[in-house]
């Protein structure tokens, strides 16, 4: 009989890291089995509490009924924080001011689980701006968007049209990493929306590229899926009325999982290159 392969704990650690579980909750390991034994020993030593006689139970004051569901407040940010974000974003006159406002903003729970604000990378004066959805583990650690595997592929995609991070400006709809790389909630997205909209308005790119489904749906205000949207020019209109040509395309993370579709993104980037070469309207 063949012996089972030896278990390598490093494989388990790699699995947890790839799943987004990359932070220890304690500085040293905790023996939960020992904790359970200690708790059971305390219970065993405790003296039994005598039951109240029936008369005392009847005379006891009735318990207060629970508050109606309508009066209970959820411990999550609400629409008020989205309104506050809109007001703060309007106050930013420059990208530096916007970054400072976002760094001080405390109305989104994602800020408290992320390590860094991921504001932007590249050249804010560039005529090309690319927007993804949210930072991942590598981006959270470095405080820059698209620096992991997806970022390396994006760099190659830019190089294919003669661009790099000195001639492009890169940001995300969500500036803080959702814990465990989960999808941002609709409320979290709505709270962060004013910041990316103001960021685009202040950067004033000649062409906007939305990377993937979430950023395309949010910024272009559509419910059409990315596979139907990609390759077709759309427009993004800022709060001040500036109209920016927008090209939806596939997210680099999707292309890593579906390399056969890189040819589709290649066509999209060729269209972007041609539009950038054309005179500004």
Question: In angstroms, rounded to a whole number, what is the distance separating the alpha carbons of residues 173 and 4?
Answer: 47
Strands in 135-206 per DSSP E: 169-172
Reduce the DSSP state of residue 240 to 3 states and report it.
Answer: coil
Whether residue 206 is contained in a domain is answered as yes
Do 124 and 167 touch, CB atoms closer than 8 A?
Answer: no
Residue 57, domain member (yes or no): no
56 inside domain: no
Q: For position 5, what pLDDT does the model report?
A: 55
- Given a cut of 50, whether residue 85 has pLDDT beyond it is yes
Q: Looking at the domain assignment, is residue 181 inside a domain?
A: yes
3-class secondary-structure state, position 23: coil
Confidence of residue 279 (pLDDT cuts 50, 70, 90): confident
Range of the domain at 204: 79-276
Number of structural domains, the chain? 1
Domain presence at residue 3: no
pLDDT tier at 4, thresholds 50, 70, 90: low
Whole-number pLDDT of residue 43: 40
Q: Is position 19 within any domain?
A: no
Is 102 a domain residue?
Answer: yes
SS (H, E, C) 159-171: HHCCCCCCCCEEE
Residue 29 lies in a domain: no
Band the pLDDT of 161: cuts 50, 70, 90: very high
pLDDT digits (tens, 9 = 90+) for 167-180: 999 999 999 999 99
In the structure, what pLDDT confidence band is assigned to residue 67 with cuts at 50, 70 and 90? very low
Over the stretch 86-114, which tens digit does the pLDDT of each residue have?
999 999 999 999 999 999 999 999 999 99
CB-CB neighbours of 118 under 10 Å: 27
CATH of the domain at 184: 3.40.470.10
């Amino acid at each position: 009989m063949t012996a089972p392969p030896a278990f390598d704990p490093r494989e388990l650690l790699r699995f947890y890291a790839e799943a987004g579980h990359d932070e220890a909750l304690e500085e040293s390991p905790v023996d939960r089995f020992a904790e359970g034994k200690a708790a059971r020993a305390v219970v065993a030593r405790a003296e039994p509490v005598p039951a109240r006689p029936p008369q005392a139970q009847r005379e006891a004051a009735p318990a207060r009924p629970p508050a109606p569901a309508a009066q209970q407040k959820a411990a999550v940010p609400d629409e008020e924080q989205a309104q506050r974000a809109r007001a703060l974003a309007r106050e930013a006159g420059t990208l530096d001011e916007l970054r400072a406002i976002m760094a001080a903003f405390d109305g989104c729970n994602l800020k408290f689980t992320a390590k860094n604000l991921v504001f932007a990378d590249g050249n804010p004066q560039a005529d090309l701006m690319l927007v993804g959805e949210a930072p991942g583990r590598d981006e959270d650690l470095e405080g820059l968007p698209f620096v992991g595997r997806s970022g390396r592929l994006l760099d190659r995609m830019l190089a294919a049209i003669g661009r790099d991070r000195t001639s492009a400006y890169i940001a995300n709809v969500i500036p803080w990493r959702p814990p465990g790389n989960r999808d941002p909630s609709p409320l979290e997205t709505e709270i962060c929306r004013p910041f990316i909209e103001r960021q685009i308005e202040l950067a004033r790119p000649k062409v906007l590229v939305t990377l993937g489904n979430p950023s395309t749906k949010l910024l272009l205000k559509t419910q059409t899926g990315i596979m139907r949207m990609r390759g077709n020019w759309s427009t993004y209109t800022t709060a001040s009325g500036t109209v920016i040509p927008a090209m939806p395309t596939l997210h680099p993370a999707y292309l890593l999982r579906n390399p056969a579709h890189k040819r589709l993104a290649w066509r999209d980037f060729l269209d972007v290159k041609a539009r950038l070469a054309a005179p500004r309207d």
